[in-house]
């Protein structure tokens, strides 16, 4: 049953991708297909990276309410964009080669994420309250710093920062996609190799160690992967705090299994499906643009609140 | 045989275990008793290789649990911890099947499935095998965890308060089953159990180790330890001990 459901998700993804590419295809088809293909690949990669990262993070944190976005990545991303515009100016910022800028940004975010995660998960585990508080405090600190820098910018530069601060799926270059695609493929391969050990890790540190799992080492490896996946996604399109929670929660409902070999692809496919379907509806059916991230965050936030109230304990 | 030599363990500034030396022979049930904070669970975790001692050494049938590869250690000794919180959604059969992980490392075979079913049957869990853990009572969950530990097929089973949440019938059934399974047989196992119910220890243990303030207060055959004088020395209170069907019964005065 589980295998069949994941297959259905994959088939739905294929059908949706075909619809996304071919819906009302008129005029210069080659040009339009290139544009749509780039956007489709971006949406799929961001959704897959975020979905897979969230399943890993929830296993590490032993809590299905959490998402790595809550640790303050959005604030870090906005701070980095502001700092770059502040240091280089609006023109200098626009002149950064896309691939180099993306690599630097992703590298820096991986570094910060690894440091934060190591601090949070030293001694083998982190509790929910500590993760949430760290996210809130890190967010306040970085947002405060970003606001301070933004006050020093001129209005034109400020608008550049504002544009860069929301997730956008249209401004991704083929070079960025190639790098991201390769990195994502490697990360997902490593996730698949780790899957049987993640099943044991999900039992919690005490039981997993009793069963002979080198738990602390696995957790550090998983967190490094989470950091890479989140950094890939954020550096590519910008912050999406709650997409992972939506993807992981839906995947767990659609594919009710404890086995990460199925859960990770299910969450990756669900994340991609949410983004592609959402973008398709907004762009093609409703004729609107650039609102998908806002809607994803809105519904993701609602889900987060609903999950909090549904639970007896966090 | 489990051999513990000059074992000490500290948690921060607090010295939990002091210079403990003991040997536990194969077979039968060895109960570790003692007042709260005596270091019973710490001793069990040190023996299982899951707490790193500040001094001394442990050998389980010659294996050093701190040096051995993790899965080798888990094949030699299985530990049931006190009421672990399991956050993931699992059915009883899936939980028990995890006991086989040290053997297959993620690629279960038919033998693993057979031993999982055997463990379910051994602890009367077959009717509950497809139930979700979330729907079980505390006692049923505890039995499922014991079955998982059993499915590990380790010659040594270390159980930390396995009677938690069990009603008297299941507590008796569990101890009786462990007693039977640790008698000489082709697949004889050895059980070391931390237990706060002195009468459960008196009723079923072959040997007793009594800890007091992180040291061994007394150790030996059950009938030798379950005496008013020894229990008074360990727990600091008066007990009467009567004989019932050739087993001691302890009554607090």
Most B CBs within 10 A among A211, A219, A257, A262, hence the mutation to make, goes to: A211
Contact A216, B50 (CB under 8 A): no
CA of A246 vs chain B CAs: smallest distance (Å): 18
- Please state the separation of Cα A92 from the chain's center in Å: 27
Q: Are B181 and B56 in a shared domain?
A: yes
- As a whole number, mean pLDDT of residues B3-23 equals 92
B36 interface with A at CB cutoff 8 Å: no
Q: Look at residue B10 in the predicted model and tell me its pLDDT.
A: 92
Instruction: List residues bridging with B250 in a β-sheet.
Output: B241
Q: How far is CA A76 from CA A136, A158, A292, B31, in A?
A: 12, 17, 21, 54
Give the range among A139-148, A149-158, B80-89 with minimum mean pLDDT: B80-89
CB contact under 8 A, B102 and A258: no
* Contact assignment for A210 to B106 by CB distance below 8 Å: no
**What string of DSSP letters covers A198-254?**
HHHHTT-HHHHHHTT--HHHHHHHHHHHHHHHHHHHHHHH---TTHHHHHHHHHHHH
Contacts for A109 with CB less than 8 Å, ≥ 6 apart: A73, A76, A77, A80, A227, A230, A231, A234, A235
Of residues B133 and A303, the one with the higher pLDDT is B133
A118-130 pLDDT, tens per residue?
Answer: 777 765 555 667 7
Q: Nearest CA to B165 among B144, B182, B181, B180?
A: B144
Residue in A with minimal Cα distance to B100? A211
Over residues B210-225, mean pLDDT: 92
Q: Which domain holds residue B50?
A: 2-61+155-252
Distance CA A71, CA A37 (A): 32
Same domain? For B183 and B108 the reply is no
B159 and B246 both lie in a single domain: yes
User: Domain tally for chain A?
Assistant: 1
Handedness of CA A149, A154, A157, A162 (dihedral sign): positive
Give which of B217, B183, B211, B180 is closest to B196, Cα–Cα.
B211
Identify which of B161, B232, B229, B235 has the alpha carbon closest to the alpha carbon of residue B201: B161
- Does pLDDT of A281 surpass 80? yes
B58 beta partners:
B4
Say if residue B118's pLDDT is above 60.
Answer: yes
Question: Is B102's CB within 8 Å of A211's CB?
Answer: yes
State residue A311's pLDDT score.
Answer: 67
Give the whole-angstrom CA distance, residue A9 versus residue A16.
10
**Residue B78 within a domain:** no
Interface contact A35, partner B, CB < 8 A: no
How does the average pLDDT of chain A come out, rounded? Answer: 84
B68 in any annotated domain:
no
Same domain assignment for residues B239 and B183: yes
Evaluated on CA atoms A120, A126, A128, A133, the torsion sign reads: negative
| CA A251/CA A125 separation, integer angstroms | 24
Segment B166-185 shows an average pLDDT of 85
* Binary contact (A209, B70; C-beta < 8 A): yes
Q: Rounded to whole angstroms, how far apart are CA atoms B11 and B43?
A: 12
Extended beta strands in B38-174, E state: 55-60, 77-80, 156-160
CA-closest candidate to residue A134, choices A114, A113, A120, A146: A120
Which of B110, B136, B152 represents a domain boundary (last residue)? B152
pLDDT value of residue A304: 77
Give me the residue from B73, B80, B87 closest to A63, CB to CB: B87
CA distance B59 to chain A (A): 17
User: pLDDT-based confidence at A294, cuts 50/70/90?
Assistant: confident
Summarize the confidence of residues B58-84 as an average pLDDT. Answer: 91
pLDDT at A124: 56
How many structural domains does chain B have? 2
Of residues A30 and B156, more confidently modeled: B156
Contact A210 B107 (CB under 8 A): no
Token pair of B179 as six digits: 């007693």
Please check whether residue B104 touches A, CB under 8 A: no
Supply the ipTM of this predicted assembly.
0.89
Domain coverage including residue A299: 2-313
| Same domain, yes or no: B138 and B198 | no
Last residue of a domain, one of B152, B171, B203: B152
CA distance B75 to chain A (A): 8
pLDDT band at A75 (very low <50, low <70, confident <90, very high): confident
Whether B87 sits inside 8 A of A196 (CB atoms) is: no
Query: Do B210 and B159 belong to one domain?
Result: yes
Q: B45 and B91 in one domain?
A: no
Q: Are B186 and B242 contained in the same domain?
A: yes
Q: For testing the chain A interface, which of B60, B98, B151 should be mutated: the one with the most A CBs within 10 Å? A: B98
A53 phi and psi angles, rounded to 5 deg: -60, -40
Per-residue pLDDT band at A219 (split at 50, 70, 90):
confident
pLDDT at residue A64, as a whole number: 84
Q: Does A196 touch chain B (CB under 8 A)?
A: yes
A256 close to B (CB below 8 A): yes
Smallest Cβ distance to B85: which of A204, A212, A258? A204
pLDDT confidence band for A191 (50 / 70 / 90): very high
Measure CB to CB from residue B86 to each of A203, A209, A214 and give the nearest one.
A203
Q: Inform me whether the C-beta atom of residue B66 falls under 8 Å from chain A C-beta atoms.
A: no
- The mean per-residue pLDDT over the stretch B227-249 comes to 89
Site from B51, B101, B156 to mutate, A interface, most A CB atoms within 10 angstroms: B101
A22-70 tens-digit pLDDT = 888 888 888 888 888 988 999 999 999 999 999 998 998 888 888 887 7
pLDDT digits (tens, 9 = 90+) for A220-237: 888 888 888 887 888 777
- Residue A30, token pair as written in the block: 């080659």
- For an interface test with A, the pick among B50, B60, B70 (most A C-beta atoms closer than 10 Å) comes out as B70
- What are the chain B neighbours of A193 within 8 Å (beta carbons)? none
Q: State whether B7 and B43 are in the same domain.
A: yes
Give yes or no for a contact between A270 and A9, defined as CB atoms under 8 angstroms apart. Answer: yes
Nearest CA in chain B to A210: B79
pLDDT more than 70, % of chain A? 93
Is A288's pLDDT higher than 90?
A: no
Tell me the chain A residues in contact with residue B48 when contact means C-beta distances shorter than 8 Å.
210
Chain B environment of A212 (Cβ under 8 Å): 70-75, 101-102
pLDDT averaged over every residue in chain B: 91
* Range in A103-107, B32-36, B242-246 with the lowest mean pLDDT: A103-107
Distance, CA of B76 to CA of B26 (rounded, Å): 13
More confident residue, A289 or B196: B196
Find the range with the poorest average confidence among A11-25, A37-51, B160-174. Answer: B160-174
Cβ(B111)–Cβ(B58) below 8 Å: no
**Could you tell me if residue B66 is inside a domain?**
no
Question: Quick one: pLDDT at residue A313?
Answer: 60
Q: In A, which residues are within 8 Å of B102 by CB distance?
A: 211-212
Cα of B74 to nearest chain A Cα, Å: 5
Q: Are B61 and A198 in contact (CB under 8 A)?
A: no
Domain end, chosen from B100, B134, B152, is at: B152
Nearest CA in chain A to B73: A212
- Domain co-membership, B172 together with B234: yes
Indicate whether B198 belongs to any domain: yes
Q: Does B105 touch chain A (CB under 8 A)?
A: yes
* Residue A312: predicted pLDDT: 58
Per the domain annotation, does B82 fall within a domain? no
Same domain, B172 and B231: yes
In a domain, B72, yes or no: no
Q: Is B88 helix (H, G, I), strand (E, B) or coil?
A: coil
Which of residues B104 and A242 earns the better pLDDT score?
A: B104
Claim to verify: residue B169 and residue B222 sit in the same structural domain: yes
B203 belongs to a structural domain = yes
Region B139-166: what's the mean pLDDT?
90
Percentage, residues of chain B above pLDDT 70: 100
Q: In angstroms, what separates the C-alpha of A69 from chain B's closest C-alpha?
A: 21
3-state helix, strand, coil in chain B (%, to 5): 35, 30, 35
Q: Is residue B7 part of a domain?
A: yes
Q: What is the CATH classification number for the domain harbouring A134?
A: 1.10.3470.10
């Amino acid at each position: 049953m589980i295998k069949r459901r994941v297959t259905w998700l994959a088939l739905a993804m294929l059908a949706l991708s075909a619809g996304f590419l071919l819906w009302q295809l008129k005029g210069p088809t080659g040009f339009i297909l290139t544009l749509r293909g780039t956007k489709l690949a971006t949406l799929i990669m961001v959704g897959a990276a975020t979905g897979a990262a969230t399943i890993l993070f929830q296993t590490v944190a032993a809590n299905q309410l959490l998402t790595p976005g809550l640790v303050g990545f959005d604030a870090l991303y906005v701070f980095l964009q502001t700092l770059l515009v502040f240091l280089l100016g609006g023109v200098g910022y626009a002149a950064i080669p896309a691939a180099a800028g993306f690599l630097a940004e992703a590298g820096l975010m991986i570094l910060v994420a690894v440091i934060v995660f190591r601090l949070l998960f030293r001694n083998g585990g982190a509790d929910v309250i500590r993760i949430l508080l760290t996210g809130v405090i890190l967010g306040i600190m970085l947002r405060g710093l970003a606001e301070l820098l933004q006050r020093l910018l001129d209005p034109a530069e400020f608008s550049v920062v504002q544009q860069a601060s929301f997730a956008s799926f249209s401004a991704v270059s083929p070079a960025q996609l190639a790098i991201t695609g390769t990195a994502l493929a490697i990360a997902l391969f490593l996730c698949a190799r780790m899957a049987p050990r993640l099943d044991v890790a999900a039992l919690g540190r005490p039981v997993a160690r009793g069963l002979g799992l080198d738990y602390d080492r696995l957790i550090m490896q998983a967190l490094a992967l989470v950091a890479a996946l989140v950094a890939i996604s954020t550096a590519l399109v910008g912050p999406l705090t709650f997409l992972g929670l939506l993807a992981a929660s839906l995947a767990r409902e659609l594919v009710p299994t404890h086995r990460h070999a199925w859960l990770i692809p299910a969450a990756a496919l669900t994340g991609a499906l949410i983004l592609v379907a959402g973008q398709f509806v907004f762009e093609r059916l409703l004729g609107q643009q650039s609102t998908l991230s806002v809607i994803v965050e809105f519904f993701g936030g609602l889900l987060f609140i609903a999950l909090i109230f549904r639970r007896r304990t966090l | 045989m489990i051999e513990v030599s000059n074992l000490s363990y500290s948690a921060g500034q607090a010295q939990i275990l002091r210079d403990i030396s003991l040997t536990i022979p194969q077979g039968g049930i060895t109960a570790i008793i003692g007042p709260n904070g005596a270091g019973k669970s710490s001793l069990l975790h040190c023996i299982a290789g899951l707490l790193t001692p500040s001094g001394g050494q442990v050998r389980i049938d010659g294996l050093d649990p701190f040096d051995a590869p993790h899965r080798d250690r888990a094949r030699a000794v299985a530990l049931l911890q006190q009421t672990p919180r399991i956050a993931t959604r699992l059915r009883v059969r899936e939980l028990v099947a995890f006991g086989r992980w040290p053997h297959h490392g993620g690629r279960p075979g038919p033998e693993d499935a057979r031993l999982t079913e055997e463990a379910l049957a051994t602890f009367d869990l077959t009717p509950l095998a497809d139930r979700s853990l979330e729907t079980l009572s505390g006692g049923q969950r505890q039995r499922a965890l014991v079955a998982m530990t059993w499915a590990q097929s380790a010659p040594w089973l270390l159980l930390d308060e396995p009677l938690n949440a069990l009603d008297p019938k299941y507590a008796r059934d569990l101890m009786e089953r462990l007693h039977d399974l640790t008698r000489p047989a082709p697949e004889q196992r050895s059980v070391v159990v931390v237990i706060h119910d002195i009468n459960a220890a008196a009723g079923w243990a072959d040997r007793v180790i009594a800890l007091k303030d992180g040291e061994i207060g007394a150790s030996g055959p059950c009938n030798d330890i379950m005496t008013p004088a020894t229990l008074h020395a360990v727990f600091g209170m008066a007990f009467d001990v009567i004989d019932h069907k050739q087993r001691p019964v302890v009554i607090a005065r």
